[in-house]
Structure formats: C-alpha cells, structure tokens
Structure 1
Amino acid sequence: MKQLLRTLLFVILITPAGWVMAHSDHGMINDETAVQITHKTVQQMTFKDFGYPVGKLDASWKSVTPDDIEVVEVGDGFYVLRITQSGTKQSLSMKIAFTGQVLEVSEVVAK
C-alpha cells in the first residue's frame, strides 16, 4: 500500500497536470511562468507521451532551454509559446491557459 501511494504521488508530481495544480490556486500565471511550465513540460515529454499530437519527444529535445522558448501570442485566457530546438530548428507550439494548464502541444511546420 505504501508503494502504491508513493507511485501515485510520483506520477502526480511529474505530469504536467500535477505540476499545474501547484499554480491553479495562485491565480493567473505570467509570461515568465508560462515559459517555465513550457520548459518543464517539454523535458517531461522526452520520456513520456502525454497524449498530445506530437507524442513522446526524442531525447534531442532535452537540450531545449528557456532561451529557446518565446511567447508568440497572448489570447483570451491563454498563452501560445513557440519552442525551437536550436540544433535541428524544429519547433513546437504550446498553448497554456492562464491557470497554468497545458491545453495543446503541436508541431510547427516550416513554411
């Protein structure tokens, strides 16, 4: 039973939803916090598929830093951030609610 509780706690703490819960009772996030959440989520997505269209990211995404993330839109209740992997120039788009919840993660297709 102890092991089950430890495992459950670990899963809650490492998932984006678990990480977001830490923000939900603090009101709206700001740009800097949105970048931090995005960075943490990208790192987590290198070892687990969270059900977003991009799936599990390959290990090369571990090299992404907060400097590789920019806020590209502030909408009605959400931020849209672009994450660009410097080595390959691949990009992802992440939509995060003002509460800190990750809403969408998708691949940005170069034009």
Structure 2
Amino acid sequence: MKKLSIIICAALVSLSSQAFAHGDGHSVMEADAAVKLAQTSAKMLSFKDHGMSVGKIDDSWSQVAKSEFVLSEQAKDGFIIKGYNAKIGQTLYFTIDKSGQVKTVEESKKFNKSHGHAH
C-alpha cells in the first residue's frame, strides 16, 4: 500500500508542473480539459499546499470522481470549475485561465464574496 501511495504521489508531482505552471501560450485550453485539470489540482492539493488560498485540502478530495467537477462559468479569458466533495460537504471553485494555469482555488463561501455573485 505504501508503494502505491508513493507511485500516486510521484505521478501527481509530475503533473504539478502542468497544473500550476504558467502555460506556454501556444495552446488554448478547452472546457473539458479545464474540468480534468481541476480534478487533478484537487488531488494534488490533497497531498500538499501549493500556495492556493485553500492550502492543503482534505485527503478525501483525491477520491472525488470527475463527474463531481463541472463547468460553472466560461469567459473569454478562462473557466470557473465547481468541484463538490460529498463526503465532507465541501464545494471548491477552480479559476483556470485559457493557457491552463490554475489561478485560484477557493471555498464556496469565500468565492461568492470575492467573485461578486453566488453560484
């Protein structure tokens, strides 16, 4: 079991450069890819604080299915993806720009205040 955890952690770390790095400017992210990136980001944040306002999130986020991540808003400059963790009753919002950079990850209470309207 420990070996499996190490393999999963290593895979997530290798994805971290894509999930939290600035895009190269050559490609434009699509909504489906943004949803998948939000799920990957949640898994990464369940292992380590990556400097987002939510910090390190509950370990149960690593088990949340892709179907629990949905496109909440799409604008010309990016996406807002809503993720819901039924196990702990927590909703997170992932703001992802068109280049594939995760800009913010916020809890629903804080997100509604900073974003200006409720989702």
TM-score, normalized by length of structure 2?
Answer: 0.73
Describe the shift of the 1:85–1:11 C-alpha distance in structure 2 as closer, same or farther (beyond 3 A). Answer: closer
Cα RMSD for the two superposed structures: 2.6
Unaligned runs of 5+ in 2: 1-10, 113-117
Unaligned runs of 5+ in 1: 1-9
Q: Corresponding residue for 2:8?
A: none
Q: Corresponding residue for 1:6?
A: none
AA matched with 2:18: W
Task: Tell me the SS of whatever aligns to 1:24.
Answer: coil
* Pairs aligned (count): 100
Alpha-carbon distance between aligned partners in 1 of 2:52 and 2:22, rounded to the nearest angstrom: 21
Q: Among all aligned residue pairs of Structure 1 and Structure 2, give the percentage whose two residues are the same amino acid.
A: 23
Runs of 4+ residues over 4 Å off in structure 1:
20-23
Matches within 5 A, 1:57-72: 57-72=57-72
Are the counterparts in 2 of residues 23 and 29 from structure 1 also a CA contact under 8 Å? no
Q: Corresponding residue for 1:74?
A: 74
Q: Does 1:90 align with 2:96?
A: no
Q: Corresponding residue for 2:27?
A: 27
